[in-house]
Amino acid sequence: MHETKRSPGAGKPLAPYSPGVIADGVVYVSGTLPLDAEANLVHPGDPQAQTRHVLNTIRSVIETAGGTMADVTFNHIFLTDWAHYTAINTVYAEFFPGDKPARYCIRCGLVKPGALVVIDP
């Protein structure tokens, strides 16, 4: 059995998926793009602002499901340019100030043109 979760004010997903799902007490959050409620790209060209938006969106889904960012155990990070790696990590560290989740980071093309980062907890 599972229950889908969507944070208040979140827009409709771009594809057939749920932003969050709870199954057996575990919260799964979909990969998150820097998009507003109308699926428009936010903060073009600014990797720190896009990362902050993505992590705030993820936090909202997790909190809607009853968790906190301290509950995150693993993140998959996708970025379009290694030149943004330090900027993304600076913001990332703000959201995970204590023990850090395990993670990996891959440079690749992203589904939404102009998106610089996607994080999938």
State residue 6's pLDDT score.
66
Q: What are residue 90's phi and psi, to 5 degrees?
A: -60, -45
13-70 pLDDT per residue, tens: 777 778 888 888 898 998 999 998 888 999 999 999 999 999 999 999 999 889 999 9
What is the total count of domains within the chain?
1
Provide the domain limits for residue 14. Answer: 2-120
Of residues 88 and 9, the one with the higher pLDDT is 88
Question: Within 10 A of 69 (CB to CB), how many other CB atoms are there?
Answer: 16
State residue 5's pLDDT score.
67
For 85-106, what is the mean pLDDT? 97
The domain spanning residue 28 has which CATH number? Answer: 3.30.1330.40
- Evaluate whether 54 touches 92 at the Cβ level (below 8 Å): no
State residue 16's pLDDT score.
72
Provide the mean pLDDT of the chain.
91
With 0-12 / 13-18 / 19 or more C-beta atoms within 10 angstroms meaning exposed / middle / buried, residue 121 is: buried
